[in-house]
Structure 1
């Protein structure tokens, strides 16, 4: 298996190539190294290779990693990219730069409540189920605009954009990425502060180039950097 450094370099080169093909600035796309189930040593190896943005999905595992002696105190930008239940919000707020997996108004309300309670501010993305699969989390596409009226008014939190997990089929995934981009455009048209809505978190190891072609500002790649998923 190639080294983590080589994996990061390969992904960055592919991001740049896809961006150039799409007529985009490669610097407008950020790579989130998905480090869930990976030990602190592998994250440190990626950090030492020059990468500082990591995504975690399991709360307890994340809380343990951020205080691991190998990682504690490093200028790491953590994103929480997994599904976040309302009763776990209080434990993650203030510890990550961006929460990707908010998929209900009730969870956004709890995020706001906890931010106020802890005198903090939280940025988040709304997860949208573009594939329509019942096994995936996310708000239905036709619910997003109606929910926005409430989401925009919640204090101490800011909606920064949208995220999805696309279908495994390449053609379907490309279409879902395109729809998510169009949905973000619609959101911006009704937002009181449209400049705050700038992020599209979409694309993973198997489909990130299509996501870049359709406007992704963040891609989430784990396997292509760290190798096969470790058992928890």
Structure 2
């Protein structure tokens, strides 16, 4: 595994699906990775990364952005409202907008700052109690409410249940995106990104297949 292998697999998955490779953005998920591992991927020319926590990103990315041109970082993990201002400064996209209070906070900050990252609505496609995200039945109304706040909603995101066929969840997310006129589909990780690409993913979030297993110690 590694960056080159993943790029090749993405190209093949796109070809198999009749899609152009530039339709899919590879987000290298760098959470909990040591700086030397992240720098090695930067040295290979990759520039789009994903983080789960604002605080970890604050300690990592300002320095990398100074040293490497064109670095782009997306927030993939849950966002507390008290970290929203810092997140808007750090990230060009937030994939985890999942509740009205957060949407309202982002809208207020966007007015103050005059800018806002691209936003993805997180949908809890498996309706799992322990997982963040709006329920599929509530997604249309939440997307409409976020748009009414003048938020730049670009797409939807999901994390399928580990014990279910991911393609069913990807297909559900695609339907939600299509009926709401959203182009962005943030779905697919190391184990299932080819299935996600076949079903229209525009952003795949890959960590362990690029960096190796994470060390949480």
In structure 1, distance between residues paired with 2:142 and 2:161: 24
> Residue 27 of structure 2 is aligned with which of 27, 32, 39?
32
The separation in 2 between residues aligned to 1:128 and 1:149, in whole angstroms, is 14
Asked if residue 224 in structure 1 is aligned to residue 217 in structure 2, the reply is no
Q: Secondary structure at the match of 1:32?
A: strand
Structure 1, residues 52-74: CA drift from partner, whole Å, max 9, x if none? 00000011110010133x55342
Q: Which residue of 2 aligns with 1:56?
A: 51
Q: Does 1:200 align with 2:185?
A: yes
1:125 touches 1:163 (CA, 8 Å); kept in 2? Answer: yes
Is 1:114 paired with 2:99? no
Gaps of 5+ in 2: none
Q: What is the Cα deviation at residue 185 of structure 1? A: 0.6
1:13 lines up with 2:8 in the alignment: yes
What does 1:1-232 align with in structure 2 at a 5 Å threshold?
7-68=2-63, 71-74=65-68, 75-155=70-150, 157-169=151-163, 172-188=165-181, 197-231=182-216
State the TM-score, normalizing by the size of structure 2. Answer: 0.94
Q: Distance in 2 between matches of 1:16 and 1:26?
A: 5
CA RMSD of aligned residues (A): 1.5
SS in 1 for 2:145: helix
Q: Secondary structure at the match of 2:101?
A: helix
Q: Is the Cα contact below 8 Å between 1:65 and 1:71 reproduced in 2? A: no
Conserved? CA contact 2:143–2:153, under 8 Å? no
> d(CA) in 2 for partners of 1:10 and 1:149?
39
In 2, Cα distance between equivalents of 1:168 and 1:126? 20
Deviations 1:27-72 (A, max 9, x none): 100100000001222111101101000000011110010133x553
Matched length: 216
| C-alpha contact (below 8 Å) 1:129/1:139 kept by paired residues | yes
- 1:167 and 1:113 map into 2 onto residues whose CA distance is 33
3-state SS of 1:162 partner: strand
Q: Secondary structure at the match of 1:231?
A: coil
- The answer (yes or no) to whether the contact 1:129–1:138 under 8 Å persists in 2 is yes
Counterpart Cα distance in 2 of 1:58 and 1:149: 27
How many Å separate the matches in 1 of 2:139 and 2:67? 38
